[in-house]
Amino acid sequence: MVSAAVPGTQPEETGSPSRIVLYLLAALLTATAAHAQQPPAPHKDGAKPQAPLTKAQSKELLDSVDEILKFVSTDTKLPITHPVKRKLVSRDEVNRYLQKKFDEDESTRRLQNSEIVLKKFGLLERDFDLRPFLIKLLTEQIAGFYDEKTKTVNLLDYVVPEEQKPVLAHELTHALQDMRVDLVKWSDLTPPGNPHTVQEDNHRLQVDESGSAREAVTEGQAMVTFLDYSMRDTGHTLADAPQVVDKLKDSLGDNSDSPVMARAPLLLQQTLMFPYIEGLGFEAALLAKGGRDAAFAGALANPPTSTFEIIHPEAYLNHAHVPQMTLPDLRPLMPQYSFYDLGVMGELDVRILTELFGGHDIAAAISPEWDGGVYYAAQRTAATPAEKQTPASVGLIYVSRWKNEDTAHSFLRIYAGQLARKYSGLARRPKDETDEDEQVYTTTEGDVLLTSKDNTVYALEGFPVAQARTLRDAIDAVQTTGPILQATTPTAELIPRLAALLNSVIPERYTSRGLNP
């Protein structure tokens, strides 16, 4: 998942859609301190940008790093083991940095794969161009970032010191985390490369959400120090004013000061906010239960493994069961396809998908009943180079398990109801359905088979219906329930979740202007 510092941005690799955006955008946001004044809105397109800092302002900002680092170390109980490098960057340098990150071959490939999978799911419109939108969004949002590779905190030479100091508290938290665990190694458990065996497939599923969960820990911790620094003159901290978290969540729906974020698809908005807001809630729960040692050093030493634990911190605190699903070896069952992507469809992904397809109230009612999910994408080997740039070349398998049959049936209705948004030429074929639990459709991109079996929903899109049934039955035969085991020696790369994908394309850890008090 991407690292970031305030509702801003941060990408990584691919994996579950939210993680695909969490690795693709994992670091795109953070929030605003409860009592602080709002920052000036980012300049609108065509408006005059802010003037560069004066020499005196630049010196004040750079000199403040050491003082704020001491505050953050006291606040987190994470020790300072060496000085932090710092430098000022211009808006043009930020833009060039983002362009360079997006132009790197591996990052571009991951971004392209993630975009096609997200469009296949219907989470992005088919004509949406993700890359330029992300560059514009990140350029608008970024308020400073910590580069964990160069061990440098980067500050903006066009934002006055008083607006950047709370951002510094956020970014310097990442510097202390880096001193503690080496964020480059700690954040990503999986080496690059596609899986080639069923063992590697299921290993990837085991660790698929670990990047997103760890991103939420690092950003949640940085949000705590961001808020504590912003409230320092009141004599309060988040530990004795936990109501700040709820107030902060309530204030985040307004994107009026961020014209690009206001236009962002729901997937990007929620995925970008997740590590900051849900991560903050997770850290607040750890603070209340175990104090600062548990919330900071403890969470870094024993991080959660899934977004389920971030959304439900009591599951992490109680070492509760985390829903897990597995896959059989699907390669022999579809020789005309090659592996494209796979990952966990976690509770966050389901919440976004159901809100997009059914509305906020339905999502709020259904998503807590999620009990596991995976997806597998394969690309037709016979597709032309041009076709391989489109979702039409990809066959999608999505398996979603729920806590009861009624919720599974409700989810199936929601999912089936949005097929017309994704596909032209949609027509149901009742005569080809073997029983009342099946729905078979024709589309311009191939057959679609939807099935509800007990508390599990199967969606297979783009495969001939007979082959889809074979794949469905093979997956159903291997399902068991059990806790996710934390892998210590990963053998395959995660599929960059949108968040994780962004991790590799965006500044290592950054803070968003929208969060600056």
Instruction: For 195-219, give the DSSP string.
Output: --SHHHHHHHHHHTTHHHHHHHHHH
Would you say residue 403 lies in a domain? Answer: yes
Q: Where are the beta strands (DSSP E) in 465-513?
A: 509-512
Distance of CA 216 to the CA centre of its chain: 9
Residues 304, 352 within the same domain: no
What are the residues whose beta carbons fall under 8 Å from the beta carbon of 35, sequence distance 6 or more?
230, 231, 234, 517
Characterize 39-66 residue by residue with b for buried, 16 or more Cβ atoms within 10 angstroms of its Cβ, and e for exposed. Answer: beebeeeeeeebeebeeebeeebbebbe
Task: Give the strands of the sheet with 152-156, arranged side by side.
Answer: 85-89, 152-156, 142-147, 509-512
Q: In what order do the strands lie in the sheet with 456-461?
A: 337-344, 370-380, 394-402, 456-461, 446-453, 438-443, 427-428
Q: Are residues 138 and 251 in the same domain?
A: yes
Q: 340 and 208 share a domain? A: no
Cβ-based neighbour number of residue 493 at 10 Å: 22
C-alpha distances out from residue 469 to 155, 161, 331, 395, 436, Å: 55, 61, 15, 14, 15
Distance CA 273, CA 277 (A): 6
Strands 438-443 and 427-428: antiparallel
Residue 460 lies in a domain: yes
Confidence at residue 313, expressed as pLDDT on a 0 to 100 scale: 96
Domain boundary among 274, 293, 318: 318
Give how far the C-alpha of residue 430 lies from the chain's centroid of Cα atoms, to the nearest Å: 38
User: Along the 517 residues of the chain, how does pLDDT read in single tens digits?
Assistant: 223 333 333 333 345 444 343 333 333 322 222 222 233 333 444 444 567 899 999 999 999 999 999 999 999 999 999 999 999 999 888 888 877 777 764 555 666 778 899 999 999 999 999 888 888 887 777 778 898 889 999 999 988 899 899 999 999 999 999 999 999 899 877 656 789 999 999 988 888 888 889 999 999 999 999 999 999 999 999 999 888 888 877 776 566 667 788 888 988 888 888 999 999 999 999 999 999 999 999 999 999 998 899 999 999 999 987 888 999 999 999 999 999 999 999 898 999 999 999 999 999 999 999 999 999 999 999 999 999 999 999 999 999 999 999 999 999 999 999 999 999 999 999 999 999 999 999 999 999 999 999 999 999 999 999 999 999 999 999 987 544 443 333 222 222 244 444 444 444 555 555 454 4
Rounded distance between C-alpha atoms, residue 211 and residue 1, angstroms: 5
Same domain, 306 and 377: no
Is the Cβ–Cβ distance between 5 and 167 less than 8 Å? yes
Q: Give the residue from 285, 318, 351 where a domain finishes.
A: 318
Are 166 and 294 contained in the same domain?
Answer: yes
Asked if the structure places residue 353 within a domain, the reply is yes
Domain identity same for 360 and 310: no
In terms of domains, do 386 and 291 share one? no
Whether 230 and 276 map to the same domain: the answer is: yes
- Same domain, residue pair 245 and 394: no
Element containing residue 148 per DSSP (H, E): none
Domain extent at residue 167: 55-318
Sign of CA dihedral 157, 163, 167, 172: positive
Q: Which two structure tokens, joined as six digits, stand for 475?
A: 């997956």
| 298 plus 338 within the same structural domain | no
272 assigned to some structural domain? yes
Same domain, 230 and 257: yes
Range 64-70, long-range pairs (CB < 8 A, 24+ positions): 64/161, 64/165, 64/168, 65/153, 65/168, 65/172, 68/165, 68/168, 68/169, 68/172, 68/229, 69/172, 69/175, 69/176
SS3 463: coil
> Within its chain, how far is the Cα of 416 from the centroid?
25
What is the C-alpha separation between 394 and 380, in angstroms, rounded? 6
CA neighbours within 13 Å on the CB side: how many for 309?
A: 28
The pLDDT, as a whole number, for residue 110 is: 65
Count of structural domains, the chain:
2
CA distance 90 to 326: 47
Distance between CA atoms of residues 475 and 370, nearest Å: 18
Instruction: Tell whether 205 and 67 lie within a shared domain.
Output: yes
Q: Note whether residue 345 is domain-resident.
A: yes
- Residue 323 belongs to some domain of the structure: no
Whether residue 517 lies inside any domain: the answer is: no
SS3 string of 32-45? CCCCCCCCCCCCCC
